[in-house]
Every structure is written in structure tokens, then in C-alpha cells.
Amino acid sequence: MEQPAGTAQRQATILWRCPQCGLIFTPQPTTVRCPRCGENLRKCRYCRFADTVTWECTNNRIRFTFGDETGRFHIPEPDHVWACPENLPNLQPPMWQVALSNPLLRGLTWGAAIAVLLLIVFRIFVVPAIAPPEMPESALVTAQAIMARNRYTIGEPIQLLLVVTNAERVALDPCTVILRGEIVEHSEVRSQPAPIYPPQRTPRGVQLVFPGLAPQQSMTAWIYLTPLGAQRRAYDLNVEVLCGGYRAVVNPRSFRVEIR
């Protein structure tokens, strides 16, 4: 489609980047030197026709007019300058350099890089230093979890029998039972015997702390979860037992509970 009469053609803005100081600016047809450092930007080596490997000009008109008998025009030295009629500086910067020439964008980029670096340092060095070490699992500390049935109605207590056995040669104190799952979040939790501390709520979980176990001793506890705001669907209930400095081997570790 032809351009309507009287409408100016939009021209792309030409930018140059000084090879010496890195200044990015808009050149004029008469621009010869960098406005910051004064570098001569019309040197042969900055021209798009210059082959800086063989130091020869590749422009056919210059080669045939000023070249030798073989049609080759040698650039005398890297800083050679002359009033060449075919000089076209090849100084267009890549887009990322143009973007970083903006002070605001450059500051945001540096800020983001520093934030990522600090996050990596925090994750690698700080978090392991403040996070408690994971308790090792002992095959001599076991917990048998028994659930009479897997289907309950809203308001009916879910009964879980837990038998914890300490086969270690030392006493393990305390014994902590951790229940996790969305069903725990919507249930009232109590146990028999009662824990030595009130149940401690965690996101989608609860912790029950019982007295420790002497060597070769077992503990039996009934845990009751009464669903209050649960929906009629299936839920997953996970069981974890910590005794002293060990994680007990729980069998099974999880149950599928259906609320009707």
C-alpha cells in the first residue's frame, strides 16, 4: 500500500557505540568523533567494509579505484584514517547494551542480580545453619498404627490405635506423635492417655507429646479425630512418630479416610 501524500515516513533511530568509552548516542551525518572521549569513529577498522583479519578493504569501488595491481587495498595500520567516500561505521550496539545504557534499567538489573545472589547465599549457607538436623530413623523404634475402619460420618470420631515400642538400650524422651493431612485441620483432636502438653497445631497438622519410653518399653495410645467442618470425600492421614532423637518406623505411614 502506498504511503498517503503528506505523511512523513517513520525512520528507525540509528545508534552508535564508541569502542573506546562505550558511550551510546545518536550520530549525525557529520559526526566524526565520540562526543565523550573524542575517539575518531571514521577509522578504517570501524568501517563495515574493513576486514580486520587481513587488514584489507572489501569495498569493490575502493579496491578497483585505489587498490594495487591485484585489486587489493591494504589498510596501512589499525588507526588509519582518510577521507574515504565509502566509509560506513559499523558501530551499532546490540540490544542488551542499548537497554543497559538506560540508568534506571541498569539500576534495576543490578538490584535484581544482587537480590538473586543474596537469595542463593541465604539458601546455601544460612538455611542449613539455622535449620535443625533431620532426625535419623531407627529400626529399633517402631510404631504400629491401626485404624478399625476407613469410613466415617461427619461428627463421628476417627479412632486410631498407636503402639510405640522402644527396643533401644537407652530411654527416649519425649515421644511425639505428628498427624498431618487436611482432615486434621478440620477435626477436634484428643487422645487417651492425654498428652503432657496441649496439642500443638501446625499447618494441616497437629503434634501430641507423650512421656518418654524406657528401654524395651511400649506405649499404647488411642487418638480420636472428630471431623467438624470436613466435606464428604476422601482424605489422606499421615502418621509420624519421633522418640528422643530418632524417627520411629511407622507401619503403615498413611491412611485413606472417607467422610460420608
Query: pLDDT of 118-172, one tens digit each?
Result: 999 988 887 777 655 556 677 789 999 999 888 988 888 999 999 999 988 888 8
Q: Is the pLDDT of residue 224 over 90?
A: yes
DSSP state of 172: B
Query: Which residue is it, cell 493431612?
Result: 181
Per-residue pLDDT, averaged over 92-115, amounts to: 82
Taking only the tens place, the pLDDT of each residue in 178-217 is 999 998 988 899 999 999 999 999 888 999 999 999 999 9
- Kindly report the length of the chain: 260
Separation between Cα atoms, residue 76 and residue 95, nearest integer Å: 33
Q: Please tell me the predicted confidence (pLDDT) of residue 134.
A: 59
Per-residue pLDDT, averaged over 53-80, amounts to: 88
Per-residue pLDDT, averaged over 254-259, amounts to: 90
Q: CA dist 172 to 18, 116, 143, 164, 224, Å?
A: 73, 43, 14, 11, 24
Q: Please tell me the predicted confidence (pLDDT) of residue 222.
A: 95
Q: Which three cell numbers stand for residue 256?
A: 485413606
Domain ranges of the chain: 16-93, 137-259
Tell the CATH superfamily of the 137-259 domain: Immunoglobulins (2.60.40.10)
**Continuous H helices in the chain:** 60-66, 95-100, 103-121, 127-130, 182-185
Separation between Cα atoms, residue 103 and residue 107, nearest integer Å: 6
Instruction: Say which residues have a Cβ less than 8 Å from residue 14's Cβ, sequence separation at least 6.
Output: 26, 27, 92
Separation between Cα atoms, residue 12 and residue 10, nearest integer Å: 7
Separation between Cα atoms, residue 174 and residue 243, nearest integer Å: 6
Q: Which three cell numbers stand for residue 162?
A: 498407636
Q: What is the dihedral of CA 76, 81, 83, 88, to 10 degrees?
A: 100
Q: Please tell me the predicted confidence (pLDDT) of residue 2.
A: 45
Q: Please tell me the predicted confidence (pLDDT) of residue 139.
A: 76
Dihedral sign of CA atoms 85, 86, 89, 95 in order: positive
Q: Is the pLDDT of residue 61 over 60?
A: yes
Longest pairwise C-alpha distance within the chain: 108
